[in-house]
Amino acid sequence: MSNGILVVDDFEDDMVGKLPDRWYNRDVKNAANEPEESRYYSYFIDEVCNNKYLHYEGTDARHLNFPLKERENLNIYETPILSWKWRVKQIPEGGNELENHKNDAAASIYVVFDMGRVALFKKVPKSIRYTWSSTLEKGSENSIFYGNQKIVVLESGSENIGEHWITVEQNIVEDYRRLFGDDPPARPLAILILSDGNSVNDTAEADYDDIMFKSLDQRLIKNTKQ
């Protein structure tokens, strides 16, 4: 960590046209190094004006998983701001994160925490999903999976789609307390990325970049366009 900033990934060390090296599939296997697995992913590294970023275009529903469990220098009480850049170029029409048969979104960032309560004899991780929804109202907050996943809608529909990056900064400690009613663990389990359009059979297109944790004094203006 340097000057109150802990970078998760800025994709600058990755190869253009490939999956990012430090991200895994849901079984915590390196997606880039699993040929049979990687062919199911619609993400790849792109580069414009000497800036590399993660691009998604397609319908396939596959998470990219960045494990945080071993990041000993991460303490979200010291760096509570999760920051990233994203831009959406196409939303999957009709997507709705609250309905299983329509559960698609142009772009989502998840923060995954330790296990929540037992649901149907299976432990379910607590998570906050920050999403660019096709249909849910911007600013709305919803709950699924027996209350273990909270959905926070940061953008909705096509109003802000295009070529401009949007920088997002969320205080995940405050969000967790508000959404779950208690204090979060100091270290989340993982960051997940998901774009998809398979349920509504429509293409999603989105870009992600500069995912990092920040201290409060490093915070910029929330949700600024660049």
Is the Cβ–Cβ distance between 121 and 135 less than 8 Å?
A: no
pLDDT of residue 120: 58
CATH number of the structural domain spanning residue 183? 2.60.120.260
Q: Which domain holds residue 193?
A: 5-225
Contact 209, 165 (CB under 8 A): yes
Q: Please count the structural domains in the chain.
A: 1
Tens-level pLDDT at each residue, the chain (226 residues):
678 999 999 999 999 999 999 999 877 677 766 666 677 789 999 999 999 999 999 998 889 999 998 787 999 999 999 999 999 999 999 998 998 899 999 999 999 998 755 555 667 789 999 999 999 999 999 999 888 999 999 999 999 999 899 999 999 999 999 999 999 999 999 999 999 998 999 999 999 999 999 999 998 854 444 4
As a whole number of angstroms, the distance between CA 66 and CA 186 comes to: 17
Cα separation, 11 vs 9, in Å, equals 6
Helices (H), 48-202: 172-180
Which two three-digit tokens encode residue 218?
Answer: 């490093």
User: In whole angstroms, what is the distance from residue 176 CA to residue 178 CA?
Assistant: 5
